Amino acid sequence: MTNGKTLVELEHVSQVYATGRKRFYAVQDINLTISEGEFVCLLGPSGCGKSTLLRLITGLQRPTEGRIRYRGEELRGVNPHASIVFQTFALFPWLSVQENVEVALKARGVPPKIRTACALDLLDRVGLDGFENAYPRELSGGMRQKVGFARAMAVEPELLCLDEPFSALDVLSSEALRGELMELWLDGKIPTKAILMVTHNIEEAAEMADRLIIMGTSPGRVIAEVNVDMPQPRHRKSPQFLKLIDQIYAILAGQTQPEPVEIGTAPGKPGITRWLPQIQISDLVGLLEHLAESSQPTYDIYQLTEDFGADSDLVLRLIDTAELLGFVRVGQGDVMLTPLGETFSEASILTRKEIFSTRIRRLPIFQWLINMLHLAENQSLKRDVVRAAIELELPPADAEKQLNTIIEWGRYGEVIAYDDETETIMLEPLVGQSVPGH
């Protein structure tokens, strides 16, 4: 479908945000092009900066470094040829469906009569005729997003940007809406020249896009590009499709490295600090038990997401955690329980805690924290102190989340204690000893 004309070009684009004196990269050194006729997907886990990248491309944000060109010209301000379909729909709740679409045209100075005709036509095309006078809150999620699509298409954009457009919808309506969008796009019913979609949903990306740009975290960067040479419509059960999915999972889940590489270094030390993934420990236990119950030696990651009916993002984070703790090994999109992982999943609650405790004590980040606590008066530290230390390496919001995870893990493994009232982190009195149970 590509006729080769370049629409968007990014050259060494980075977005830095500063808090105090520290600077953090939201995305770093991005190079990519989008050509006419292409459906491109930005795919990656949460926090990889894919939404930031979308805002850079549309001109809502200005890159700190690098250049963004649209049709060969450097982008200044919001790109007039682009429009966005938002994850949360971003409809004005106080305007009716029709007014929501019309307001986009009004802002461009389209006179009332033409405006109304155009809005009604678009609402008709997305299947919302009869709902013109309804207010967004009266509609279902899927219908709201249809309004979002109608509004975005009303301004006849060359570049249609979709920011996780289906992730706030239930399974059925997102499925339906995807189909309808693909129909409009493939039949050329809309004047759109290219579509750029941001998503963390691997199947969705593989089903819709011509090209996948896969991103990784800290800092947000492009780790792979995958061309999808499958004709539309694609069937999710076809071997070709499954192979593609497996390939993407392999890229995103990576390959288990030798332990020193896998666990990284402590904050402030040279090397890459390995931050803790944001997960619930009960979820981790569930994953390991599920793996132990199956008789296969290795397990397909894609299969896991199917089994759990869970978000691929969450499953990847869980696997990442299990890998970090030495409970599983990962390679080529497959996951395999280690003997330790097997023991853990079969152990009693108290033994599990003990294993968990010994495992997290090996992580540099916990060693770093325990060391700080040892040096501190009363072997306790104010929450703010630890957060400030983490903020040297992470932006404030992330540091807060990271600290919460550290506290949760530490409490579960009984490595540290935390007093909510005084906001103090303390060393568990049993430190260093291995006492089975209490």
Minimum CB distance to other proteins smaller for 156 or for 246: 156
Tell me the CA distances in angstroms from 21 to 13, 269, 275, 392, 393, one per residue in order: 21, 19, 21, 9, 11
Q: Nearest approach, Cβ of 121 to other proteins (angstroms)?
A: 18
Q: Which of 290, 208, 299 is nearest to 249 (CA)?
A: 299
Minimum CB distance to other proteins smaller for 64 or for 247: 64
Stretch that binds other proteins, among 55-63, 293-301, 369-377, 424-432 (CB under 8 A): 55-63
Is 130 a binder of other proteins (CB under 8 A)?
Answer: no
Q: Which of 50, 144, 200, 383 binds other proteins (CB under 8 A)?
A: 144
Stretch that binds other proteins, among 84-92, 237-245, 326-334, 406-414 (CB under 8 A): 84-92
Stretch that binds other proteins, among 74-82, 212-220, 251-259, 409-417 (CB under 8 A): 74-82
Q: Which of 2, 31, 33, 88 binds other proteins (CB under 8 A)?
A: 88
- Name the helix (H) or strand (E) containing 159: strand 159-163
Q: Which of 57, 82, 159, 407 binds other proteins (CB under 8 A)?
A: 82
Q: From CA 96, how far away is CA 148, in angstroms rounded? A: 12
Is 146 a binder of other proteins (CB under 8 A)?
Answer: no
The amino acid present at 330, given as its one-letter code, is V
Q: Are 215 and 229 in contact (CB under 8 A)?
A: no
String of contacts with other proteins for each residue 101-120, x by CB under 8 A: --xx-xxxx--x--------
Q: From CA 47, how far away is CA 30, in angstroms rounded? A: 15
Q: Are 241 and 206 in contact (CB under 8 A)?
A: yes
Minimum CB distance to other proteins smaller for 112 or for 271: 112
Is 418 a binder of other proteins (CB under 8 A)?
Answer: no
Which residues, 6+ apart, have CB-to-CB distance to 105 below 8 Å?
114, 115, 118, 119, 154, 155
Which residues, 6+ apart, have CB-to-CB distance to 10 below 8 Å?
30, 31, 32, 33, 56, 57, 66, 67, 68
Is 18 a binder of other proteins (CB under 8 A)?
Answer: no
Q: Dihedral of CA 104/107/108/112: which sign?
A: positive
Q: Rule CB under 8 A: which residues touch other proteins?
A: 17, 55, 58-62, 76-78, 80, 82-84, 86-88, 90, 92-95, 103-104, 106-109, 112, 135-138, 144, 151, 155, 421
